[in-house]
Structure 1
Amino acid sequence: MSGQQETTRLFLALWPDPAIRHQLREWRDAWGWPRGATPVHTDKLHLTLHFLGNLPSSRLSELRDGFSVPFDPFRLELGRAVMWPRGLAVLEPHGEPPELLALHARLNEALVTLGLAPEARKYRPHVTMARRAVGAVPPTAGPAVTWEAQGYALVESRPGDGGGYIVLHDYGSPPA
């Protein structure tokens, strides 16, 4: 095993508080899931800002500091249940707040400064409700999830049965 560098699978996300997580779970549970669909576990519901992938664990301190960018709190209204290609069921916002897009752009610049390649695809904010969900029936309506975003997080994704998501660092405004 010599020569192999230990890595950590990372992403940057808006991380919901318990009340928002509850509302997201209600949306997830309102879908009609086909056999074989994999709904996202409640404690994993979030809105990804940037997926970073497997990075050297030795860079964690540098990355944590490098992703500290200016943050302006904003309101995000989620409430559009949509099926994306390849069986991805998502909850999209009704609009894209300029502060969210500015945060995404600042984190994009931080990625470049840290020598990492940002995704080339256009950013489409969403919360993934399920994977492998071809044929799922989205709810026709539901209450808007009003998310008062006060910050964002650097999150580790741990593989396997004992895995899960671990918030490594919170950024932004502390809750009032």
Structure 2
Amino acid sequence: MQGMDAHARLFIALTPPPDVRKQLAAARDVIHLRVSGKPVADSNLHLTLAFLGQTPRTRLEELTQLIDRSGFMPLDLQLNQYGFFTQAQVVWLGLPARHIALDGLAQRLGHGLRTAGFNFEDRPFSPHVTLLRKATCPPERLPQPVIWHANQLSLYESVSTPDGVKYRVLHRVLAGFGR
């Protein structure tokens, strides 16, 4: 692949529609007024299901087929709990309790990735949307929940640019339209 790295830094995530992205950005901005940190760009807001990291580009077609076969169906999510990952210095917004359908999707993707021999971050699933990085303290309570009818699953590439990290969608599946 001339002019392109042989590997790509990849992850699979739910992509918010524009109205939800706007709500997430508003929640981020409210908390950023009270907590220090670097806001995540609006275009980078997402909910990660599986982080693969450096993956050979030669496996992209296999990976897109795996995502197409994930059995992705629409999910109704209510994000109303802020959290703080101390070590990573990340403020996030997530669900207050386990979500059976969301957990099931993450498990199916993980099983498919393991079976196909993909390297990925295989740790307990903690569904959240990162709002701030390099934060110094946990946030306060969220004024109102973000309601998200999740109907788009995407394969993203994380690309470092002089202006910071940008996430580029390489493949997308709409809920109920996988193979």
Please name the residue that 1:90 is paired with: 92
Q: Name 2:24's counterpart in structure 1.
A: 24
Correspondences of 1:109-124 after superposition (within 5 Å): 109-124=111-126
> Which residue matches 1:72?
73
Partner of 1:107, secondary structure, is: helix
Separation in structure 2 between the aligned mates of residue 174 and residue 119 of structure 1, nearest angstrom: 26
The question of 1:155 aligning with 2:156 is answered yes
Q: In 2 relative to 1, CA 54–66 (structure 1 residues): closer, same or farther, beyond 3 Å?
A: same
Shifted more, 6-15 versus 163-172: the winner is 163-172
In 1: Cα distance, 2:162 partner to 2:176 partner: 32
- Whether the aligned pair in 2 keeps the contact of 1:88 and 1:130 (CA below 8 Å) is yes
Give the C-alpha shift of residue 83 in structure 1: 1.5
Mapped pair 1:127 → 2:129: yes
Question: Equivalent residue of 2:80, what SS?
Answer: strand
Q: Does the 8 A contact of 2:27 with 2:142 survive in 1?
A: no
2:108 corresponds to which residue?
Answer: 106
Superposed, 1:30-45 pairs within 5 Å as: 30-31=30-31, 32-34=34-36, 37-45=37-45
- TM-score, normalised relative to structure 2: 0.86
Instruction: Give how far 1:85 is off.
Output: 1.5
Q: Deviations 1:106-151 (Å, cap 9, x if unpaired)?
A: 1011101220244342111000011110135x24232111111113
Separation in structure 2 between the aligned mates of residue 83 and residue 18 of structure 1, nearest angstrom: 25
Residue in 1 aligned with 2:10? 10
- TM-score after normalising by structure 1: 0.87
Q: Give the gaps of 5 or more residues in structure 1.
A: none
Q: RMSD of the alignment, in Å?
A: 1.8
Shift of residue 67, structure 1, vs aligned partner: 2.2
- Partner Cα distance (1:173, 1:142) in 2: 29
Count of matched residue pairs = 168
More displaced 10-residue stretch of structure 1: 149-158 or 109-118:
109-118
Distance in 2 between the 1:39 and 1:53 partners?
A: 22
1:27-59: CA deviations, max 9, x gaps?
10011232xx22111110110001110111121
Separation in 2 of the partners of 1:100 and 1:77?
A: 12
Secondary structure of the 1:19 match is helix
Aligned equivalents of 2:142, 2:47: Cα separation in 1: 20
Between the aligned partners of 2:84 and 2:16, the Cα distance in structure 1 is 22
Give the match for residue 60 of structure 2.
Answer: 60
Percent of aligned pairs with the same residue? 35
Question: What secondary structure does 1:25 align onto?
Answer: helix
How far the C-alpha of 1:174 sits from its partner, in A, is 6.7
